[in-house]
Chains A and B, each alone.
Chain A
């Protein structure tokens, strides 16, 4: 490949006998441009029109700062909880055989399939002070719904499959020989898991964590029902965008969106870096 490239200079596409390249790539690019790139660019243009000082003023508005803080902190906590339990769930699904395992495995995808609004009202029905679970906690003064804790609960629901589905395939690939090698060298089971298995899974766990975190920050539907949406307390950034839109405050909405988008791209970049690093270092990605 390198040879042919030097022989004939720069070349956009390698020759192929298969037809349809122009048609399919043309369609792909057109559709991508119309649906994704132009609308996203529109956001960029709007932000540029605001200028740095305009953006800065809005971004440092206390309510905006607080909404972003709520979004990021609850997302972080939810992703951490999912990292712990997601790994345990994946381990149980991969390593153990017990009745109902297949059903459990299938149900892990529920948050991918269940509309977020449905998840939102269901979780609220459980954790509201008069709800299925909330009613037993209310007498002790524990309130979950309508507080940041409620947001965390919704975000755990949303993020779980990202964690499990990222870690699971890598776990399946762990070679039995490696674990046996650790055992012959005298490692007990706990040492094998903590020093061999988990470090080997680290890139996958980090990737899953980043995916769950990124998704949680942007999540809207499942959160707004359970959050209570109290400004400065349990108001998330996506909700504040909606509120600004309803006020026809497009500049406000645009600025918050811009900050969140930049964050999303940073997460995307982080995931790519994790995987490139892991591939270089250990010879496997993900």
Chain B
């Protein structure tokens, strides 16, 4: 099922939780909504589900305008952040609920329902737990039951709000892979919300980065990581440094020092240079340019070492990655130059 979000806007008592937003989701795609807390991810997800009504705009399921359909009729599988399992029902009754509440005419026979539930329990790798109550399950198991329950109604789209948010790191990693497998197996169009970039980049076909009620960028993990279109995306994803610089006479300058990077084709004027700690090259003998500064702090990060340098007259701190055994000279100064970087103009335009 394709999804089309067409100029949708949502206000809560005049507060714009989601500014005008459009987004196309392809059939069978696994999409992540990624952004900091309060960026409107849940709101967008709930609008798709029909749990909220848009202030303006429309949501299409395939060619059909779904806006006039109530949640019940949209046939979406929704997995809630805190699972929202029915505490007084067994796992079996939880998963069967969506089928049991169907009108008699389209309700499968009791046997058939039970068969399907057991099948789903196998799919989510919880065979034999159908008699348990939610209270008797671990967090990860509850999450799986919640997913099985959502899948039981053969939803047109699957929506998950921070599906792993309440679980500990170990369980999260395991479930992440498993969700991808289930998605590949069932082929549902799936949208999930997360504030964990690693989760989004690793799991999703495409990532929708959101901030302050707006979509900042939509793209594959490579697009988002390598070609961030806004300073927000650059700094939100992975580690990054930002340096205020100036373009003049085809050169990039930090105060009176040339950076030695190729900015041909860039217009003159102030700009901000973004680069990641690992995308640098150490200069042993700085000839014409580069950045240099004393090491203010250092810390060991797995197999590498991160150095914090104080650059320029106003001692802007930048972080670079060096080999763990990198010898810091007696002067305590290190010189480097960004290998990969992006320039953002203060008017929002970008280039590199």
User: CA separation between A242 and B234, bound complex, in Å?
Assistant: 85
Chain B, residue nearest A180 (CB) = B51
**What is the CB-to-nearest-CB distance from A284 to chain B, in angstroms, rounded to a whole number?**
7
Q: Is A245 an interface residue (CB 8 A)?
A: no
Contact A186 B101 (CB under 8 A): yes
Q: Which residues of A contact B71 (CB under 8 A)?
A: 180, 183-184
Q: Which residues of A contact B235 (CB under 8 A)?
A: none
**What is the CB-to-nearest-CB distance from A184 to chain B, in angstroms, rounded to a whole number?**
4
Q: Which residues of A contact B89 (CB under 8 A)?
A: 199
Q: Is B49 an interface residue (CB 8 A)?
A: yes
User: CA separation between A175 and B152, bound complex, in Å?
Assistant: 22
Query: Among the listed stretches B75-83, B186-194, B259-267, B288-296, which one makes contact with chain A, having 4 or more residues with CB under 8 Å of it?
Result: B75-83
**What is the CB-to-nearest-CB distance from B83 to chain A, in angstroms, rounded to a whole number?**
8
Chain B, residue nearest A199 (CB) = B88
Chain A, residue nearest B87 (CB) = A282
- Tell which of B80, B82, B135 touches A282, judged by Cβ atoms closer than 8 Å: B135
Q: Is A181 an interface residue (CB 8 A)?
A: yes
- Tell which of A181, A185, A281 touches B133, judged by Cβ atoms closer than 8 Å: A281
Q: Which residues of B contact A182 (CB under 8 A)?
A: 86, 97, 101
Q: Is B284 an interface residue (CB 8 A)?
A: no
Q: With A175-B82, A200-B87 as known contacts, state yes or no: A184 contacts B77, CB within 8 Å.
A: yes
Contact A186 B84 (CB under 8 A): no
Chain A, residue nearest B73 (CB) = A186
Residues of A in contact (CB 8 Å), total 22
Contact A185 B149 (CB under 8 A): yes
**What is the CB-to-nearest-CB distance from B191 to chain A, in angstroms, rounded to a whole number?**
13
Q: Which residues of A contact B331 (CB under 8 A)?
A: none
Q: Which residues of B contact A178 (CB under 8 A)?
A: 84-86
Q: Which residues of B contact A41 (CB under 8 A)?
A: none
Produce 1/0 per residue, B31-61, CB < 8 A to A. 0000000000000000001010000000000
**What is the CB-to-nearest-CB distance from A250 to chain B, in angstroms, rounded to a whole number?**
49
Produce 1/0 per residue, A143-170, CB < 8 A to B. 0000000000000000000000000000
Interface residues, chain A, CB within 8 Å of chain B?
175, 177-178, 180-188, 191, 195-196, 199-200, 202, 281-284
A–B Cβ pairs within 8 angstroms, 30 of them: A175-B82, A177-B82, A178-B85, A178-B86, A180-B84, A181-B78, A181-B80, A181-B84, A181-B86, A181-B149, A182-B97, A183-B70, A183-B71, A185-B152, A186-B72, A186-B101, A186-B102, A187-B72, A187-B97, A188-B72, A188-B101, A191-B101, A195-B97, A199-B89, A200-B88, A202-B88, A281-B88, A281-B133, A282-B133, A283-B135
Given contact pairs A184-B74, A185-B153, A186-B72, enumerate 14 new A-B contacts (beta carbons under 8 Å).
Answer: A175-B84, A177-B84, A181-B80, A183-B51, A185-B98, A185-B101, A186-B75, A196-B86, A199-B89, A282-B88, A282-B135, A283-B87, A283-B135, A284-B87
